[in-house]
Amino acid sequence: MRSIHQTKKKDTLSKLRTVYQLKNIERANSVGNRKESTAEHSWSSLILADYFLTRSNMKIDRLKVYELLMYHDVVEIECGDINLLKHDFHPDKFSKENKAALKLKEKLPEEIGTKFADLFNEFQDQKTLEARFAKAIDALDAEIHEMDYKKDWIGWTEEFLRKKKEPLINEFPELKEVFEETIAFVRKEGYFDQ
């Protein structure tokens, strides 16, 4: 007969595996002949943040930034990737993601369910320096990633990207510089002219 402790441990592990589903969520970005998973995007965002935080002398809570990025797209397990469209933004994105966050919080082990919900809300609210930095990294990661996939830029315009991403990045001069370098590269290489 199994003990209550063993049953609880198995249930906790089962709930913990919920976050592993992030590996199965596809984004619009290409990776070779397939689409990037949200887990891959989260990983590259963490690497990008670490790079800029290592170079910078900003007084910012590194661990908080890492946690925000680690959990920022976990809601996609429930609602899928609601990405930036080439011509507009999903008007119901925040509503869908907030509903997904509430549902997901209940599926996770209590120890990280509450933490996830708090981090998700902080990321959405954009009131802390850490949340704004994480959001800027999130925005910049896709542009850097897509430099290797010219065909994914079909239909995008520089004006649209600037309108949607510059306000997120402008607060951080080093990120803004890389954003400008990325835009200059894709402009020169004809990515916007397809």
pLDDT tens figures, 71-123: 999 999 888 887 776 445 566 777 888 898 999 999 999 889 999 999 999 99
Q: Which residues of the chain have pLDDT under 50?
A: 86-87
Q: pTM of the prediction?
A: 0.89
Distance in angstroms (rounded) separating the CA atoms of residues 20 and 30? 20
Kind and range of the H or E run holding 34: strand 34-37
> Would you tell me which CATH number, out of the four given (1.10.3210.10, 3.40.1190.20, 3.40.50.1970, 3.40.30.10), belongs to the domain 4-148?
1.10.3210.10
Q: Which amino acid is at 114?
A: T
pLDDT score, position 143? 93
Per-residue confidence (pLDDT) for residue 132, from 0 to 100? 98
pLDDT of residue 89: 59
Q: Measured between alpha carbons, how far is 29 from 94 in angstroms, rounded to an integer?
A: 21
